[in-house]
Amino acid sequence: MESSLLELSKNLRTFIDYSNLDELTPWEEWISSTVDKIETRCWEKKGCAQKECPAHKNECGRCWLIAGTLCGGETEGLFAKKYKSCLKCKVYQNAVYKNPITELQENILVLIHSLKTKSIDLKDANSQIKVLSGMLPICSSCKKIRDDKGYWQQIEGYISKHSEAEFSHGICPSCTAILYPGLPE
């Protein structure tokens, strides 16, 4: 038991080292470099012939870490959403619940994989965000904004170009009273 704990601790340190090395390192690579492959293969145990499933013939053997598997004949979707169904699966149970050390190791793998997945999702979302910042020179009269090249443009065009905002136009009550004095509110 003590040697198993030492091995688990060594694997965990290796995981931490790998996850800090390169954000682009595929999770399969850092999992396969630290822990043994799972002998249980879902497609073999279930007699699955769906070769388009991402878990089919996967070297890692850990189908519960793979999003988009075709368990039950339909796409399982995101890792976080499918993991609960994996907990009920006989393939998962046979591979993970062998002994407390194996279960602990697999829980650590799932946690690391989940954190890495969320980190990638956050980076992707962050790269999609366009932020306006700094001081914007704006005309006191017509409200046009001067861009970095010194050109003046409508505020709507400038903001649309530099953010995800979209505009629709209307007339506020004050301007309506000035432009259309006879129009009832």
Q: Is the pLDDT of residue 157 over 80?
A: yes
Domain check: are 38 and 58 in the same one? yes
**pTM score, two decimals?**
0.59
Residue type, 124: D
Domain check: are 6 and 95 in the same one? yes
pLDDT tens string 117-134: 787 788 888 877 767 777
Domain check: are 103 and 149 in the same one? no
Domain boundary among 128, 146, 172: 128
CA atoms in the 13 A half-sphere facing the CB of 144: 8
pLDDT tens string 61-95: 788 877 778 787 677 767 767 788 888 888 888 88
Burial of 13: CB neighbours in 10 Å, binned 0-12, 13-18, 19+: exposed
Percent of the chain with pLDDT over 90: 10
Tally the domains of the chain. Answer: 2
Domain boundary among 128, 144, 176: 128
Domain check: are 79 and 142 in the same one? no
**pLDDT, the chain, mean:** 80
Domain check: are 74 and 104 in the same one? yes
Domain check: are 78 and 50 in the same one? yes
Domain check: are 141 and 172 in the same one? yes
> Which domain does 143 fall in, by range?
130-185
Burial of 15: CB neighbours in 10 Å, binned 0-12, 13-18, 19+: buried
pLDDT value of residue 133: 75
Domain boundary among 101, 128, 155: 128
Domain check: are 91 and 137 in the same one? no
Burial of 143: CB neighbours in 10 Å, binned 0-12, 13-18, 19+: exposed
Residue type, 78: L
Q: Is the pLDDT of residue 28 over 70?
A: no
